[in-house]
Structure 1
Amino acid sequence: MSDEAKWYVVHTYSGYENKVASNLEKTVENHSLQNLIFEIRVPTEKVTEVAANGKTKEVERKIFPGYVIVKMILTDESWYAVRNIRGCTGFVGPSSKPIPLTDEEVERLGVETRNVEVSYNVGDSVQITDGPLEGFIGTVEEIDVDKNHIRVMVSMFGRETPVDLELDQAEPVE
């Protein structure tokens, strides 16, 4: 049992994801479990569908049907509260032992967003701190904070080459 809140995946009956999420929120409120269960999410995405008559409409679709993601501190009390929600079939993990998502999985799923402080601007010189071009110095051409992306022009073999990086893979040159 850990004192730190982690993300766990809960398996539900198909089509019951939203019902399980809302029932779990009510249970957290009714039993004062806000200090153990922090967030409950049903991952969705917006998709444009084309109907038979040629009309398009935007619908929200579940990314992982049959699953709800819960950020909680795992204790006997929180495990029992989640496990006994109607429509919930259990946690994802061997037997009935919940396994938390790794930081990489959480980032890939887009469940939690990290805020990266950008201490450089377009035109500044930066040093690449991670990846195959670690140690190279280049000039920032483009910054897209929403997509966690920058483009840096690096001089390699006497030629300017654009390199796409994540925001935290570069730091300003002093």
Structure 2
Amino acid sequence: MKKTHEKQWYILRTVSGKENQVKYYIENEIQHLGIKENIGKVLVPVKKIIQIRNGKKIKKEKIYYPGYVLIETCLKSQVEQTLKNIPGVISFLSEKKGGHPIPMRKYEVNRMFGIVNELSERNASVSFIRGEKVKIIDGTFVGFSGTIEKIHEEKVSLSVLIFGRKTPLYLSLTQIEKII
């Protein structure tokens, strides 16, 4: 495989749970060794989720690909060795064990950034399906149960039985929860 001097995206395998620590170490090594021209972005893809605990909304970030860090770099031997020696790094993703790192293909990078951008814009990662029974946990109709009729991007249309009549309600995804 021929080496190029243009930056490409590579995947580093890391100890799961240490992704942000690896990113921090890489950024420090870039400054310390003066190899900024060889390394571009270092990315740990996350998705933003909203959890409801005791009736309060809590925003959290969850790592989308546990055990992996994406790095844009011009992979020279010094840079490769430096990255492999960072605490928490297992290896580069390659075709065979101990083989030369393989850069991500252009369509993989585009798909990855499409996913990352989509996840950063989304507020909640809760999946509901049409016909599912849910309980209203926030708003005027707290405690009522209903059936999902339609699912929109950030809202759902529910059919709720109020005073013996089916009534349509439009609520955000954070105002409902699945009935278990």
TM-score scaled by structure 1? 0.61
> For 1:57-136, what aligned pairs fall within 5 Å after superposition?
57-93=58-94, 94-96=96-98, 97-110=100-113
Alpha-carbon distance between aligned partners in 2 of 1:10 and 1:50, rounded to the nearest angstrom: 33
In 1: Cα distance, 2:107 partner to 2:52 partner: 34
Measured in 2, the distance between the counterparts of 1:48 and 1:17 equals: 21
Aligned AA (1:12): T
Q: Secondary structure at the match of 1:107?
A: helix
Structure 2 distance, partners of 1:63, 1:100, is 20
- Which sections of structure 2, spanning at least 5 residues, go unmatched? 118-180
Counterpart Cα distance in 1 of 2:58 and 2:21: 25
Of 15, 18, 22, the residue aligned with 1:16 is 18
Deviations 1:95-115 (A, max 9, x none): 2321111111111111798xx
Q: CA RMSD in A?
A: 1.6
Superposed displacement of residue 39, structure 1:
1.1
For 1:2, the aligned partner's letter is: T
Cα distance per residue 1:33-71 (max 9 Å; x no partner): 0111111111111111233x3433221111101110000
Partners of 1:106 and 1:48 in 2: how far apart? 27
Q: Kindly indicate which of the two structures has a greater share of residues assigned to helix.
A: 2
Bigger shift: 93-102 or 59-68?
93-102
Count of aligned pairs between the two proteins:
112
Report sequence identity in percent.
29
Secondary structure at the aligned position of 1:108 is classed as helix
TM-score by length of 2: 0.59
Moved over 3 A (4+): none
Query: How many angstroms does 1:3 deviate by?
Result: 1.0
